[in-house]
A and B are shown apart, each in its own frame.
Chain A
């Protein structure tokens, strides 16, 4: 090897290295560029794909839509409309074009020709007038005026265009007049043209309406418009920016189809769910994305664009992860926090209902759920404030009078001071009125507070002793799906708790009842309405509501005599409870004051101290106003409901006084008083943590215990994961822990189904410190607030078990096998859709207070006496009555206060006509509606007309008669009773001869007749109906 060979300058080539490095450089640059363009901007490829898929879909949609449009355009009806339109247009065109010709070829050129010289002169006059106004010397003004006159008198030669037009000599005023005349003529001609074309224009609108009425999807025009805008599609970040709340949501950079006018499904967009339209246009209408954005409802990180995970907020430490599909309603809760029912949020509503009804709120405070307790506190505070205010005003009035009486005060000042003092006195009497109302409210609120579980004060009179330990062991084993959760109790705890409960029960005497007829009782139980709340049967045999207990094994646990009293009046207590003394009163307390031992809603003051007593059982269960015999029948039936081998071990140890104290400690520990009334524990505090903001509690503060790592590994280290696992197994976070018994997790197992867990999780996930400012909260100041308040009462008493309150809802009766039969369908309770428009608020208030609408005949329904089921008496407080009436009025948007509509009086002739129609063979009114005749009413299926006047609103009554199926689909009242004829409604069947020549509306006549209906008239009607052989 020579030196030359070794010379690196000559022989060592760096080109290889250079090549590699430059290749690497190029590659990294390409990669860098690519990453810059697409890698960190994945949304770009979404946009590109969207554009492609959308155009493709639009093309196919257009052909499909075009075919549909062709089909409609080919239909005989459309053809007819089109022909009529064409014919009308053809007929009108000659005249219209003649007008056009005259306007365009004759008038307009003339107006233009005259306008020029006229405007020149007018401008000149105008400037001279201005000079007059600004000049200071009178002589100058006069000369200017003369100049103007000269201009006006000047004769101009005008040649108007058009044949036969001679040159004219015109002064200014003549020109003005001619110009105005021509303009008037033009306007008149154009108006005439509109009139001439009117028919054709209307027919064209009708034809186009016919087409659009029959096109469910976007029309080809819409599609074409979208296609046009898509042609200018550019790839850019699409964001919603709401400045005043600092909201930046770029979700639509990928979710491009969300707000498209054409409805996009996953299938339409090549299987890419990301491009689908928002599923509810209606929700978007209420919550305009331009104002609300996306993330306030859905969660996620609106500003993030770098990855799906980050944008959806599923990365670690992001506080607002997007709600999963099964919890999508969670987003509603933060703003709709005051509601128990939110429209279009069924899962959330279900979650709230479980939280309320299953007793979660007994242990866990949740702001807004203790409505009655909160109101008691607020009422009492207001009373104190008003008392202070009153004292202050009266003191000030005293000072003022004192000062007025001072001789050194001037007369004028004294007068003024006295007037001010009087004003303060008068205003303080206003405070008296307010305080009186609040005081009444505070008394009735005691009645409104309910408990989830039955009162345990009654155990001794109500239950079989041996059954108590069996129940405590595992309520769900004994009664599937019951509200009472399963506590993890050992044998000692069960003995102790049972003993305390048994020994703390009040002593009382029950009248001994004779046995009833279980057969009749079964019939009554199934038809009176019990099953709207209670279920019967087990497994797939189960029928009825879930609002209250399943009664399939009632006979194994209950005492018959107690059951009779309970069925007859569930609110009846064995002993009243004084909220002030905090004790159950006995006969001795009343004897001391020489008072009879009587306590009910009329006798609700404590004999010892005059405070309001708890005189009712704290149950929402109403009285069905049954006779004692019926109550005995139903109770006898319930006593037959038992398992085949129902024998329980002796439990005399429940009377062991040594167990009592240990039992009390356990009852306190497990928080039994959260759901039950228990002697001595009426004022117990909650034992659970507050959950109002649980969804935004920092994740570290949720105790995953030993499962934290597992949760992270398995991807459920989130609020959702915590709630779901806890609800599924409340002891889950004790797993692997060495804990003393009293330190273990207390929460019992509610045996919730997957759907129920989803619902409660949704509710809790949405229970957050809101990320939006309070102005976004749903706090309406109008009637909608009445709807919010009303729902709480409706839910509290389970009105929806019997009644349909909104259209998309089913009642328990809709699910009962018995009520599927066409005959029983008419026995369902009435629907309450549009109730506020139907009945007068004053009547509704009366009916809700006393559904029998009678003081002495209470064993009936006040309106529909033909129904086996009946509206029970709930003993609503005045406050609840007000809320319910306002609720129905608000749902139907009725204006407040109510002013009754005045109807035209009925002439004798009209009364005769209406009567003859009512009793004619062609009008079936009296065949279904009650008449007060017992034999007839036994078969009736509709209310009596005599109550119409005080019950119904006339406007509603007419709309109802014209088309009942529209207002209440499935009603027994037939449609098609009237037909429309020359701007009025006439009876569709044969009318009596007296109707010939009657020019007025028949439906109006019948409404006026009904609203002036008297019992006398009913008798006349009945007898004339009888004679016509109806």
Chain B
């Protein structure tokens, strides 16, 4: 009788052990899909109706830099394009209302870990009058950039990223647009033309759609943010960066201004 009991007991223990052994991979399996889900789930789109909106302006504190006209004498074709008014550099452009143009504002951190649907409309970057137009653009990682050459001279487009792959392509006058994109988030990628060394553009590549470039009124708007607490950064090529923390709720509109000292 005892033996039978022992036998039964043993069988129970063994089967328990068996269950235990089988249980572990089960949980492992369950855990597995959650990790790729963060990166591989369905791509989200900003919810403009219910999301939060952050607006603001980037002010400039200090004397407006005079800015010496660019010397294009080495390239008459370029000089002719600015015959009427000499071109000034665009590294610091202070608007008439005392705000700063060409500041890149983006949500640096705080977003839920998910994929955002990549915009497919190409952002245009033109080479016109031996200047990049516009001087600064923002794109999503993977979003196409259409590079045009409107000049009657040859340019080369040479972005110098640090994490994305670097490239340097020649674009002859009158040739077709070049469609390019950057795969990874990088704020910012400087772009230069080796032939016309004064030419400079900046491309902000962001993994999500919450970014903006200040224009001639110095303001920016970021729409459709999910509720949460974020680090929002303003990036300027000469004056560096400025970070702020901001918390927004659903459908809430908040203002966040930045200021750079000259």
Which A residues contact B (CB, under 8 angstroms)?
270, 822-823, 825-826, 921-924, 927-928, 936, 939, 941, 964-965, 969-977, 988-990, 1029-1030
Contact = CB atoms under 8 A, between A and B. Distances in A.
A822 B200 contact: yes
17 contacts: A270-B25, A823-B192, A921-B77, A922-B153, A927-B74, A927-B75, A928-B195, A964-B168, A965-B168, A972-B194, A974-B157, A974-B170, A975-B167, A975-B169, A975-B170, A988-B172, A990-B173
Contacts of A990: 172-174
Contacts of B154: 921-924, 989
A924 B165 CA distance: 24
Given A822-B160, A923-B154, A974 B194 contact: yes
A283 B189 CA distance: 36
B158 interface: yes
Interface in B28-62: none
Interface string B171-189: 1111100000000000000
Nearest to B157: A974
Interface string B7-41: 00000000000000000010000000000000000
A941 to B, nearest CB: 6
B112 interface: no
Contacts of A972: 158, 168, 194
Contact of B76 (A923, A964, A974, A1029): A1029
Given A965-B166, A972-B168, A974-B157, 5 more contacts: A972-B194, A973-B194, A974-B194, A988-B175, A990-B172
Given A924-B156, A974-B156, A822 B168 contact: no
A964 B156 CA distance: 13
B153 A941 contact: no
Given A924-B154, A924-B156, A972-B194, A965 B174 contact: no
B194 A970 contact: no
B76 A971 contact: no
Contact of B190 (A822, A921, A971): A822
A1030 B76 contact: yes
B152 interface: yes
A939 B157 CA distance: 18
B219 to A, nearest CB: 28
Contacts of A823: 192, 197
Contact of A922 (B157, B166, B173): B173
Contacts of A825: 160
Interface in B134-170: 152-154, 156-158, 160, 165-170
Nearest to B196: A927
A968 to B, nearest CB: 10
B153 A921 contact: yes
Given A936-B74, A988-B175, A927 B195 contact: yes
A977 B160 CA distance: 19
A821 to B, nearest CB: 8
Nearest to B71: A939
A709 to B, nearest CB: 42
A989 B194 contact: no
Contacts of A936: 74
Contacts of A977: 170
Given A922-B173, A970-B160, A965 B167 contact: yes
A1030 B195 CA distance: 12
A1030 B76 CA distance: 6
A989 B175 contact: yes
A486 B90 CA distance: 54
A969 B195 CA distance: 18
Nearest to B198: A823
A989 B75 contact: no
Contacts of B194: 826, 928, 941, 972-974
Nearest to A989: B172
A971 B156 CA distance: 12
A826 B192 CA distance: 11
Top 9 A-B residue pairs of the complex, sorted by shortest distance between their CB atoms:
A989-B172, A974-B156, A974-B170, A972-B194, A1029-B76, A822-B190, A976-B169, A924-B195, A924-B154
Contacts of A924: 153-154, 156, 170, 195
B77 to A, nearest CB: 6
Given A924-B154, A1030-B76, A939 B197 contact: yes
Contact of B75 (A922, A941, A971, A1030): A1030
A973 B168 contact: yes
Nearest to A823: B197
A63 to B, nearest CB: 13
A23 to B, nearest CB: 13
A270 B21 CA distance: 13
Interface in B62-99: 74-77
B90 to A, nearest CB: 14
A921 B195 contact: no
A1030 B192 CA distance: 20
A236 B251 CA distance: 68
A921 B170 contact: no
Contacts of A988: 170, 172, 175
A969 B166 contact: yes
A972 to B, nearest CB: 4
A761 to B, nearest CB: 33
A581 B152 CA distance: 74
A621 to B, nearest CB: 32
A975 B172 contact: no
Contacts of B200: 822
A823 B89 CA distance: 15
Interface in B93-115: none
B123 to A, nearest CB: 20
A938 to B, nearest CB: 10
B172 A1029 contact: no
Nearest to A941: B194
Nearest to B80: A1029
Nearest to B29: A60
Which of A822, A923, A988 has the most chain B CB within a 10 Å cutoff? A822
Contacts of B190: 822
Contact of A971 (B157, B168, B175): B168
B234 to A, nearest CB: 20
Given A826-B194, A921-B77, A939-B197, A970 B173 contact: no
B173 A989 contact: yes
A485 B154 CA distance: 57
Contact of A921 (B169, B171, B173): B173
Contact of B77 (A826, A973, A989, A1029): A1029
